[in-house]
Amino acid sequence: MEGPSHEADAAGDGADAGTRAKLRLPASCEPPRSNNPAKQLAWLIFGGTGHMGRSLVKCALARGDLVTSVGRVYETSAREMHEAGPSQNYLGCLCDVRAAASVDGVVQEALRKFGRIDVVANCSGYGVIAACEDQDEHDIRSQFETNFIGTLNIIQATLPYFRRQNGGRFLIFSSTSGALGVPGLGPYCATKYAVEGLIEAMLYETDAYNVKATLVEPGLVRRDEPDSGVNPLPTWGHFLVKPASEPYAQATSPALHAKRMVQWLGDRQPTSAVKCAELVWQLAHCSYPPLRLLLGSYAIESIRDRLRSVTEELEDWKHLNFQVNADNDDSILFDEKSLVVEDDSIF
């Protein structure tokens, strides 16, 4: 199978041809190929200081695209962002995605620099690892304001521009936690479920404007560097690990599952951020992108198991399906025995 050299580069040093081939999206979505060369795109990447965001910024720049990388106001400085890439095809900005005015500001900066925006990628995210009972209002609001309100602010700031130019691409980094509940990450999962519902609804609304979107659902991705030590509580990437209260402090407590999972899988079975970035770059150039792109064996296996469980439960309980009688009789017939239940107080 033919393909441009960038696909081989992303596989990493020493990778064989079989590994390189796996880094190509299927031909059905028309990704860039030697006979279908990629056009230069202008990217606006939120969360450009995170391990996934940095990899995507580097990948897009290496492929000759124009990139506006947006860092977190509380993680880095404006000077560091400006110096992080070549001035000709790179712009570094700071933004708080929780504030609509801040998001609007970087959108205007990107348009002044490059004159257009073709792809908006949101790699920003924040989570608290703790039992639902142990997360206070501040923890919950911080996660929703960053993950959901932040995504909505980004969409509302850029969608009018996409509509006017009759085209644009959203690449929203979701998570496997947007498809299944993870003990220890309850509110975080809720934010990701909300984001997925938002994107699905938006796609129906914007289909006539040639706006496309993909929810990128990677598995656990290894971070690039250790903690800075500034935060008094332990962190894992952009996750804050809260100490468990007594009812959830036992070593075998399900509430500690998320902490064990990110620490164990993050070290031993990581999803490569570099390879993810390569596939996401290809995705931005696809003519027919998927609604969801799962990256890594952990993501695929866990969501497949979740869907299988939902299907099995549906089959187990489908016999309770009933129709409302024409005479408005509220009685409900159960299975083949036609057992009539007159008391509707059970529902």
Q: Which of 15-19, 139-143, 153-157 has the lowest mean pLDDT?
A: 15-19
Confidence of residue 21 (pLDDT cuts 50, 70, 90): very low
For range 188-194, the mean pLDDT: 94
272 contacts 165 by C-beta, under 8 angstroms: no
For the chain, give the mean pLDDT. 80
* 197-219 tens-digit pLDDT: 999 999 999 999 999 999 998 87
What is the model's pLDDT at position 120?
Answer: 98
Give a yes or no: residue 314 inside a domain. Answer: no
Angle at 65 between CA 54 and CA 77, to 5 degrees: 40
Q: Are 75 and 92 in contact (CB under 8 A)?
A: no
223, containing H or E segment: none
> Has residue 24 been placed in a domain?
no
- Structural domain includes residue 258: yes
Does residue 325 sit within a domain?
A: no
Bigger pLDDT: 111 or 226? Answer: 111
Q: What are the tokens at 234?
A: 């332990």
Residue 335 lies in a domain: no
Specify whether the CB–CB gap between 279 and 25 falls below 8 A: yes
Structural domain includes residue 333: no
pLDDT one-digit tens code per residue, 256-309: 777 766 666 555 556 678 888 999 999 999 888 999 988 877 777 888 888 888
- Band of residue 56 on the pLDDT scale cut at 50, 70, 90: very high
Let me know: does 174 contact 217? Beta carbons within 8 Å: yes
Of 63-67, 95-99, 141-145, 266-270, give the lowest mean pLDDT range.
Answer: 266-270
Tokens of 1: 């199978």
Query: pLDDT class for 79, splitting at 50, 70, 90?
Result: confident
Amino acid at site 278: E
Helices (H), the chain: 5-9, 17-22, 51-62, 78-82, 100-114, 137-144, 150-164, 186-206, 257-268, 273-284, 297-317
pLDDT confidence of residue 101: 97
Is 70 exceeded by the pLDDT of residue 224? no
What pLDDT sits at residue 217?
86
Please check whether residue 329 lies inside any domain of the structure: no
What is the token pair recorded at 222? 């290894």
pLDDT at position 344 is 53
The arithmetic mean of pLDDT across residues 88-101, rounded, is: 94
Q: Residue 144's pLDDT band (boundaries 50, 70, 90)?
A: very high
- What counts of helices (H) and strands (E) characterise the chain? 11, 12
Contact 129, 187 (CB under 8 A): no
In the predicted structure, residue 4 carries a pLDDT above the cut 60: no
Q: Which residues have C-beta within 8 Å of that of residue 158, sequence separation ≥ 6?
A: 44, 107, 117, 120, 168, 170
Is there a domain that residue 64 lies in? yes
315: three-class secondary structure by DSSP: helix
Q: What is the pLDDT of residue 321?
A: 76
pLDDT (0 to 100) of residue 260: 65
Work out how many domains the chain is built from and give that number.
1
Task: Work out the pLDDT band at 60, boundaries 50, 70, 90.
Answer: very high
Residue 33: both structure tokens together: 């190929």
CATH number at residue 193: 3.40.50.720
Higher pLDDT residue, 38 or 96? Answer: 96
Look up residue 300 and give its two tokens: 């695929």
Average pLDDT over every residue of 317-337: 64
The pLDDT value recorded for residue 220 is 63
Residue 153 has what pLDDT? 98
pTM score of the predicted model: 0.80
Q: Residue 110's domain spans which residues?
A: 39-295
